[in-house]
Structure formats: structure tokens, C-alpha cells
Amino acid sequence: MPSRAFYLSTPIYYVNARPHIGHTYTTVVADVIARRRRALGEEVWFLTGTDEHGQKIERSAANAGTAPQQFTDQVSAEFRGLWDRMGLSYDDFIRTTEDRHKRGVAKLWNVLKERGFLYKGTYTGQYCVWDELYVEAGPGAPCPDCGRTTETVSEENYFFKLSAFENRLLTLYAEQPDFIQPETRRNEVLAFVRGGLRDLSVSRTSFKWGIPVPGDPSHVIYVWLDALANYITALGYGSDDESLFGKFWPAQLHVIGKEISRFHCVYWPAFLMAAGLPLPRAVVAHGWLLFEQSKMSKSRGNIVRAETILAVLGADALRYFLLREIVFGQDGSFSFDALVGRYNADLANGYGNLVSRTLAMIVKYCEGVVPDGASDPVIGDQAGMTIDAVAGEFQGLNFSKALEAAWAYITSVDGFLSANTPWKRPAHISEKDEAVWRSGILYTAAEAIRILTALVYPVIPEAAAKVWAQLGLGEIKQADLRHLSWGGLQPGTRLGALGPVFPRADKDAAERMQAMELENTKTAPAAKPDTNPQAPEAVPAPSDPVFASLNPALPQSPSIVLTPDQVPTGPLPLGVFEPGLQSFEDAALVGQIAAPAPIEMVSASEVLAGAGAPKPDALPQITIDDFMKVELRVAQILVAERVPKADKLLRLEVDLGYERRQILAGIAETYAPEALVGRKVVIVANLAPRKLRGLESNGMVVAASLGERGKPALAGFLDEVELGARLK
Ligand code: MSP
């Protein structure tokens, strides 16, 4: 009998882009949790779906030359089709364009209105269409989250009294410290709320693609209020039948990516409090999947599709890789080489090989029937410890560690087989005792495989189902983790038909997948990217107005390749590295501080001596007005420390006299952090904030770029200078 109701959700995905493995990552994590919970006897409801309203989708549809409904039908079906092909075990898939959702949102609106939390006012301010986010900043300011240029909105809107919830939210975070996980996200949210909450505009009038405000249809409901409500509308909130809502709400867990913590941990609980509804138990935010060192996203053009991996290695390979390779909560990198490496080492040579050699021996020596033998006490004890370790790590959402524990056990069982050589009777075993001796070894290995298979089933369900059937245990659904203990495999069980579980990937597998992705990028995508000329993800350096005015000769296309004469060889004004790289920070992240090979660079000693150096090619002239757009200021380094897993990056905290801020600089190979503290440097103070390795960088430290490898030399002063002084 199922014991408890466990409701969990993924974010609902925007349909402006086709699914990529970043979306897959979240959905797989939720699927793993759902499967494990079911195996623990809980009654699980697992929700996913698509977010289909708002200005961003309306524009994407217009760019694709398609009506919004047709556009969203098409992309939503792609998401759902992919989840089905991957065997993701969702119980419901909600679309925000469905009637059931619209009805529920209208009810929520009415409840908020009746309870006095909505009022009409005028909003004049900035809006980031990409993030569908109101931004407190001046006209033309960049979005603090994504760096894209915000648009000025001046509309009569409905407002939600968010400010009334500041204290209640702070009390919630204090009383329920695990409401937001992990700790880093909690700190961010706390800082945001402690900074003060302003009322939130929750309707728009300047476009149409949304749910109309009940009784005032010239307004559409703000897309985040619309979207967040999916978690209750999918359970029937606002319909004639609210039985699922009664049974499963509040959710135990919302699984999200870290960039949408504020919406889920501030706005969503505030909406629910205002409506008098119970709050979800917890929100857990994972990190980003990086590809080629930056967040995988459509607009960067660095996406990898799950389809490619499914076609070559299968869904379990991707699931295993995502959970084993990425430390949950932190950013992690994807590469085809790493995927194939993990697949061969852990799945083909590890688990797959253990299964096939053990079961083949049972066929050969025991006529395909699990033998009755005395099991090895050490392997038996280790099984118990592994069950406990995996349970503990899963509970803490440390998937990577859970899998490490399971694979340590595989290594141990493998070692046990190799040490006991059941295929070759040792001299001290008499011929008479041979069958008993071998039965003990093979029973031990088969039972270890049963335990392992039940443990890893949530992560690699397809393979686990195969192995379960090969062990003669029928359908894996019967794997009940509540009663998993050593000795459960019945001697006399006849094995099922054997077959390969994880065939070894050939050495070209990574290249083939890369080629498939390349081919896919060339063929037109179904969902055309938005046109957002300011989007830094799309064209980082040249689209920046400051950068462009300094380098008007640079091409504006995302696929630019600088020819040698376009690459300046002297000190770099705002940094000209590889196309798309803006600074030492960017260059450090991709490990490309060196200039392209054919260009002759000035060596450090030549620069210092001032002799023999070829004159750098001049950049096009700029006016003083152009120069004045760059805010160069004196700052003092107060804190300098290395950024974990980024060899070239330092995290600096600098004092500008009037403010303290964090900057990331790609100078770790040249400067020891301790040598920098106290040093006065020049920074670009008005550079739009950017995230590197998940940390926000607010500005850029100016340095000369020396020699072929572009070694940085920080700009500084011989004179005494005041903090914050402007360079002009
Ligand atoms: N529609 C909103 C969510 C509304 S929920 C009420 C949205 N959609 S999204 O399509 O942009 O998807 C966001 C989610 O997709 C992220 O929170 C994350 O779960 C997942 N990811 C998208 N790109 C990702 C990576 N590169 N890496 C990891 N997860 C990523 O925001």
C-alpha cells in the first residue's frame, strides 16, 4: 500500500526554443526522484509541461511567421514527444494554453482580488522580455539577470501587494530553512527579500498573448503569475473536480534551475499566502549545464540535443552521465568525450560487464538457474552498507555520491570474482567440492547484481529492467526498495534470456555525435531564435554599443571570424580575443588567452624595453564622446581568491570608495591572490554585469595583454590616487 503522497514538479519550459539537454537535465532529475519515491512505496505525482504565454513567445511566433497557438502546439509537442521517447515517467503534462489551466489562473486571480491583494496603478519602468522580468533600473539599462537590454514599459497595470509579504517570507525562510536548497540559493533569496520588496506589476496591456484578466480583458495576466499557477491548476484547482488538488497539494518539491529561484521562492509563496493556500514543502535549484564553458542555451547556439545521444548511446547513458558527472546544485560541463568516457568505463565495462560475465557463468556452470550456495559474508555486508549509503545520498540529493557508492560496490564485486576465479578451480578445492564452491561465488555475484540493479533502477531504468528480467525476476516494477536486503534472491530462479546491456561504444562515437549536432545546427530549427540585437548571449562583444563604437569595423554576425588585420596587437581597449570573447575573464574561461596563431605579437620584454616592437595596427578613430562612454575608475582590491575549478579565474572584491563590488578576472595564472590585496587598479565600472562560473562579475579590471599568450599586466599608478577617481 502506498504510504504518502509525494508531488513534485519541473519548471514548465518556454516554447520559444526546442528542448536541449539543459531542459532534459531538470526533467531527468525529477524523474529519478519520482522513480525512487515510487520504489519506496510512496504515491507520487510528477508534473512537467510547457510555458506558452507572454511577450517572448509572442515574438518568437511572429519571427517564425506562425500564429502563436500553432507555434506553441508545435514546440510543446516536441518537448512532450522527447520526454516520451526518453521514457520519463511524468504523471501529467500541463500546457498553459489549455482551458483547465486558464480556468485555474482566472480563479486564482479572482481570489487574490477578493482578498484585497490586487490594485490598479501605473507602471513605468524597465522590462526584460527574455526573462519576463520587471527590472529596477534606468531606461536602456541591462537586465541584471541576463545582461540583455531592457525595454521601457509605461502602462496601466494591476499590481500585486508583494510588499505586504516581506516579513512573512522572512519568517518562512527562518522557520523552514530547507524551503530553499541549496544554501547558496537560500542566501541569494534572503538578500533579495531583505533588500525590500516592492509591489509587483501582474498584468500587461501592450500585447495580447496571455490569459485575459477576468472582467478586464484589455489586460493579460503577467506570464510568471500565469506560469507558476501551473503547479496547482494541473491538479484541478479552479475546476469542478479538485480531488487531486486535495490529495497532492502542497507539493513536496519544485525542482528548478538556479536562475528562477526568485520566482519560486519569493513570488510563488507570496501569491499562495495571499490566496490563503498552503505552501510547497521545498524548492531545490540545480546549477547549469555548461557546454563549451558557457550556459547551454539556444541564443548562444551551444546546445546539445538529447536526441543525438539517444540515437547513439541510449537514454540511460545520458541520465547516468548527468547525475554522475554533475555535482547537484553546482554548474557542470558537458562534452561528448566525457559522455563516451563515462559510458564505457562505468556502464559498459563496469555494470554491464559484471552482469554479463556473472550471468554467462550461471548459464555455463549451473544450467541457467541461480545456484544454492553459501554467500560471501564480506560482499553481503558491503551490500548492506551500499544500500544505506545510496539511500542517504539520494535523500540529500547527492546523486553523484549515491552513484559513486553503487559503483564502488561494483568494483568490489568485480574484484571478488577476479580473486575467486569461479571459472578455474584452485588447487585447495577438491573436485568433489567444486560445485558447492562455485555455487557460493556465483550466488554471491548474482545477489549483488540484484541489489545493485534495484538501487540504480531510478537512474538507469531501461538497463535495470533488462537486467531484472535476465535475473529471472520479471518486471522491475516489483523492485521494492523498502525491503531490499541481502539474501532475497531465491536459489532455483531460472534466468531470463540474456543479451547485452551496455554494448561498448566504439571510438568514433563522440565524433559521430558531434557531427550529428553540427548537421542539426545547419538544418533550420523549428523554432526560430528571437531577434534581440542586444542579446549578449548571441553576440557578446560586437553587439555591445560601447564595444561597437570602439571597434566599428568588426563584423556584427555571431559567426564572425576575425582576420589577422582585425585583431589589434597592442594593449586591448575592452579586450579583443576570439570572436565572442570580451575580456580576460571570457578568454580565461575558454582557455584562449593567446591570440590567433598567424598574428605576430609583441613579447613582454619588447614592450618593457620599448625597442624593436612592431607598431600595432591602429584601431579606427573614435570621438571623445565615444571614449567618455567608458567609465574607467580607480579601485582597490580588498579580497582576492581563486575560483574553484577555474584555473585562470580570480574572484576579487574591490572598493571604489563609494561602493564595494565583486569582479571576476582571468589573471590567476599571472597573479597570486595574496599579492593583489591592497593593490589599486583600474576598472571598467559601467560594464554590464555578467555571470561567470555562476558568479556575478560587476565590471572588468583593465590590463595590458603581453606577448603571444596575452599575459595580463594590471594597469596601475605611480602617484597617490583616490578611490573612485575617474580616468579621462
Ligand atoms: N518558463 C520558465 C519557467 C516557469 S516555471 C513556473 C522558464 N523556462 S525555460 O525554458 O527557460 O526553462 C528553464 C529551466 O530549464 C531551468 O530552470 C532549468 O531547469 C532548465 N534549463 C534550461 N537550460 C539549462 C541549462 N543550460 N542547464 C541546466 N538547466 C537548464 O524559465
pLDDT band, residue 498 (cuts 50/70/90): very high
pLDDT for residue 572:
22
Q: What is the DSSP letter of 696?
A: E
Instruction: For ligand 1, atom 13, name the residue with the nearest CA.
Output: 13
Q: Look at residue 341 and tell me whether its pLDDT is greater than 50.
A: yes
Would the CB of 342 count as within 6 Å of ligand 1?
A: no
Strands 632-643 and 726-727: antiparallel
CA of 162 to the centre of ligand 1 (A): 24
pLDDT band, residue 486 (cuts 50/70/90): very high
DSSP 171-188: HHHHH-GGGEESHHHHHH
CA of 591 to the centre of ligand 1 (A): 27
SS3 content of the chain, % helix, strand, coil (to 5): 45, 20, 40
Would the CB of 26 count as within 6 Å of ligand 1?
A: yes
Question: Mean pLDDT, the chain, as a whole number?
Answer: 85
Query: For residues 80-92, b (16+ Cβ closer than 10 Å) or e, as one string?
Result: bebbeebebbbee
Q: Which atom of ligand 1 is nearest to the CA of 17?
A: 10
Nearest to 14 by CA among 106, 134, 97, 113: 97
Nearest to 642 by CA among 670, 661, 678: 670
Q: Which residue has the higher pLDDT, 272 or 646?
A: 272
Instruction: For ligand 1, atom 25, name the residue with the nearest CA.
Output: 22
pLDDT for residue 136:
85
pLDDT band, residue 203 (cuts 50/70/90): very high
| Residue-wise pLDDT tens digits, 88-130 | 999 999 999 999 999 999 999 999 999 999 999 998 889 999 8
Q: Are 651 and 666 in contact (CB under 8 A)?
A: no
pLDDT for residue 479:
63
Count of beta carbons in the 10 Å neighbourhood of residue 614: 11
Q: Are 686 and 630 in contact (CB under 8 A)?
A: yes
Distance from C-alpha of 78 to C-alpha of 708, rounded to nearest angstrom: 47
Count CA within 13 A, CB hemisphere, residue 571.
10
For the whole model, what pTM was predicted?
Answer: 0.74
**Which residues make Cβ contacts (< 8 Å) with residue 410, sequence separation at least 6?**
350, 351, 354, 452
pLDDT for residue 202:
97
Would the CB of 211 count as within 6 Å of ligand 1?
A: no
Nearest to 654 by CA among 698, 624, 694, 610: 698
Q: Which atom of ligand 1 is nearest to the CA of 16?
A: 10
Q: Look at residue 461 and tell me whether its pLDDT is greater than 70.
A: yes
CA of 27 to the centre of ligand 1 (A): 10
**What's the rounded mean pLDDT across residues 23-44?**
96
For residue 217, give the 3-state DSSP assignment: strand
| Residue-wise pLDDT tens digits, 567-599 | 222 222 212 222 222 333 333 333 222 222 222
**What's the rounded mean pLDDT across residues 128-151?**
86
Reported as type and span, the H/E element at residue 543 is helix 540-543
Would the CB of 295 count as within 6 Å of ligand 1?
A: yes
Instruction: For ligand 1, atom 14, name the residue with the nearest CA.
Output: 257
Would the CB of 13 count as within 6 Å of ligand 1?
A: yes
Q: Which atom of ligand 1 is nearest to the CA of 296?
A: 26
Q: Which of 453-457, 476-480, 594-598 is least confident?
A: 594-598
The vertex-208 CA angle with 202 and 209, nearest 5°, equals 85
Q: Which residue has the higher pLDDT, 569 or 243?
A: 243
**Which residues make Cβ contacts (< 8 Å) with residue 371, sequence separation at least 6?**
362, 365, 438, 439, 442, 443, 491
Q: Which atom of ligand 1 is nearest to the CA of 10?
A: 19
Q: Look at residue 243 and tell me whether its pLDDT is greater than 80.
A: yes
Would the CB of 318 count as within 6 Å of ligand 1?
A: no
CA of 576 to the centre of ligand 1 (A): 31
Phi, psi (rounded to 5 degrees) for 111: -65, -45
pLDDT for residue 555:
25
Would the CB of 228 count as within 6 Å of ligand 1?
A: yes
Instruction: For ligand 1, atom 5, name the residue with the nearest CA.
Output: 11
Would the CB of 227 count as within 6 Å of ligand 1?
A: yes
Distance from C-alpha of 470 to C-alpha of 474, rounded to nearest angstrom: 8
CA of 694 to the centre of ligand 1 (A): 15
- Ligand 1 pocket test, pick from 209, 256, 261 with the greatest ligand atom count within 8 Å of Cβ, gives 256
- Ligand 1 pocket test, pick from 9, 12, 24, 26 with the greatest ligand atom count within 8 Å of Cβ, gives 26
Reported as type and span, the H/E element at residue 637 is strand 632-643
**What's the rounded mean pLDDT across residues 517-533?**
55
Distance from C-alpha of 666 to C-alpha of 709, rounded to nearest angstrom: 13
CA of 330 to the centre of ligand 1 (A): 15
- Ligand 1 pocket test, pick from 51, 132, 262 with the greatest ligand atom count within 8 Å of Cβ, gives 51
For residue 646, give the 3-state DSSP assignment: strand
For residue 123, give the 3-state DSSP assignment: strand
| Residue-wise pLDDT tens digits, 692-702 | 887 888 999 99
| Residue-wise pLDDT tens digits, 600-636 | 222 333 223 333 344 555 677 777 777 888 989 999 8
**What's the rounded mean pLDDT across residues 529-540?**
31
Q: Which residue has the higher pLDDT, 148 or 562?
A: 148
**Which residues make Cβ contacts (< 8 Å) with residue 447, sequence separation at least 6?**
375, 380, 383, 486, 487, 488, 489
Q: Are 353 and 432 in contact (CB under 8 A)?
A: no
Kindly tell me the sign of the dihedral angle through the C-alpha atoms of 547, 551, 552, 554: negative
Phi, psi (rounded to 5 degrees) for 5: -85, 130
Q: Which residue has the higher pLDDT, 293 or 468?
A: 468
User: What share of the chain in percent tops pLDDT 70?
Assistant: 86
- 629 grid coordinates: 562612454
CA dihedral 258, 186, 661, 583 (to 10 degrees): -20
Distance from C-alpha of 637 to C-alpha of 673, rounded to nearest angstrom: 10
Q: Are 589 and 649 in contact (CB under 8 A)?
A: yes
pLDDT for residue 653:
86
**What's the rounded mean pLDDT across residues 280-307?**
85
| Residue-wise pLDDT tens digits, 542-551 | 222 222 222 2
pLDDT for residue 618:
66
**Which residues make Cβ contacts (< 8 Å) with residue 194, sequence separation at least 6?**
170
DSSP 273-332: HHHT-PPPS-EEEE-PEEETTEE--GGGT----HHHHHHHT-HHHHHHHHHHHSPTTS-E
Q: Are 547 and 574 in contact (CB under 8 A)?
A: yes
Would the CB of 22 count as within 6 Å of ligand 1?
A: yes
Would the CB of 14 count as within 6 Å of ligand 1?
A: yes
Longest Cα–Cα distance of the chain, Å, equals: 98
Distance from C-alpha of 358 to C-alpha of 471, rounded to nearest angstrom: 10
- 248 grid coordinates: 497532492
CA of 459 to the centre of ligand 1 (A): 21
Instruction: For ligand 1, atom 6, name the residue with the nearest CA.
Output: 228
Would the CB of 23 count as within 6 Å of ligand 1?
A: yes
Instruction: For ligand 1, atom 29, name the residue with the nearest CA.
Output: 22
Would the CB of 256 count as within 6 Å of ligand 1?
A: yes
Q: Which atom of ligand 1 is nearest to the CA of 264?
A: 6
CA of 12 to the centre of ligand 1 (A): 8
CA of 14 to the centre of ligand 1 (A): 8
Q: Which atom of ligand 1 is nearest to the CA of 11?
A: 5
Distance from C-alpha of 435 to C-alpha of 708, rounded to nearest angstrom: 70
Neighbour order of strands in the sheet with 151-160 = 133-135, 118-128, 151-160, 200-201
pLDDT for residue 147:
82
- Ligand 1 pocket test, pick from 145, 260, 262 with the greatest ligand atom count within 8 Å of Cβ, gives 260
CA of 22 to the centre of ligand 1 (A): 7
Would the CB of 25 count as within 6 Å of ligand 1?
A: yes
- 468 grid coordinates: 531484472
Nearest to 162 by CA among 249, 235, 206, 222: 222
Burial class (CB in 10 A: 0-12, 13-18, 19+), 42: middle
Q: Are 576 and 569 in contact (CB under 8 A)?
A: no
pLDDT band, residue 478 (cuts 50/70/90): low
Distance from C-alpha of 192 to C-alpha of 233, rounded to nearest angstrom: 28
Q: Look at residue 155 and tell me whether its pLDDT is greater than 50.
A: yes
Q: Which atom of ligand 1 is nearest to the CA of 258?
A: 17
CA of 210 to the centre of ligand 1 (A): 20
Q: Which atom of ligand 1 is nearest to the CA of 231?
A: 6
pLDDT for residue 587:
30
Strands 5-14 and 43-51: parallel
CA of 257 to the centre of ligand 1 (A): 6
**Which residues make Cβ contacts (< 8 Å) with residue 355, sequence separation at least 6?**
449, 467, 470, 501
Which runs of E-coded beta strand occur in 656-693?
Answer: 660-665, 680-684, 690-692
pLDDT for residue 146:
81
CA of 23 to the centre of ligand 1 (A): 6
- 237 grid coordinates: 484547482
User: What share of the chain in percent tops pLDDT 90?
Assistant: 65
pLDDT band, residue 531 (cuts 50/70/90): very low
CA of 696 to the centre of ligand 1 (A): 19
CA of 258 to the centre of ligand 1 (A): 9
Distance from C-alpha of 519 to C-alpha of 522, rounded to nearest angstrom: 5
Q: Which atom of ligand 1 is nearest to the CA of 259?
A: 17
CA of 297 to the centre of ligand 1 (A): 10
